[in-house]
Structure formats: C-alpha cells, structure tokens
C-alpha cells in the first residue's frame, strides 16, 4: 500500500472510531493514562508516518508514538508509548 493511501486510511479509521486495539496496546495505554480517544486524536492529527521494516507504521504526534498495521480497510493499533 502506498504511503498516502495508508495515511488516509489511518486517519479515516481514527475519525470513524474503527480502530482495532491489541491487548498489548490497551495495557500500554492504561499504564500511560491514555484512552482510545486520545490515541484516535493522535492518529487524526499526526504528521509523521514512517513505514517500518516489519510492514507496520510508526505514527507520531501530540507526544505519543503509535505503531499500527494497515490490513486492507482495518487499522490495528499494536502499541502506544510516550515520545
């Protein structure tokens, strides 16, 4: 998937509240005091999208980094951390 297509899909999924969260992501969010809404807001406003070697995207914005995987029309949030 092309970068621009992935960015649009991530932002749309965040806007429409269609993000899928792994258990690990939810645990990390809980530990850092983040919510599904704060992660969605980060993804909607993010300006930094970097494709990693494993095919996942590192998305940064608002003091959070979110690792997502785009699978056709599904966006899976793998982990979230401050920084």
CATH number of the domain that 59 lies in? 3.30.2310.40
pLDDT, mean over the chain: 95
As separate numbers, helices (DSSP H) first and strands (DSSP E) second, the chain gives 3, 5
Residue 73 has pLDDT above 90, yes or no: no
pLDDT over 70 percentage in the chain = 100
pLDDT tens for each residue of 21-60: 999 999 999 999 999 999 999 999 998 999 999 999 999 9
Residue 9 has pLDDT above 90, yes or no: yes
Domains in the chain, number = 1
Helix axes 3-15, 36-45, angle to 10 degrees: 140
Owning domain of residue 52: 3-82
Residue 62 has pLDDT above 90, yes or no: no
């Amino acid at each position: 998937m092309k970068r621009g297509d992935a960015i649009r899909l991530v932002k749309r999924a965040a806007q429409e509240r269609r993000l899928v969260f792994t258990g690990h992501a939810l645990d990390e969010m809980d530990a850092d005091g983040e919510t599904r809404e704060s992660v969605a807001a980060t993804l909607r406003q993010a300006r930094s999208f970097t494709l990693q070697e494993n095919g996942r995207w590192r998305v940064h914005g608002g003091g959070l980094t979110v690792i997502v995987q785009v699978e056709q029309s599904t966006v899976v949030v793998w982990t979230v951390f401050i920084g």
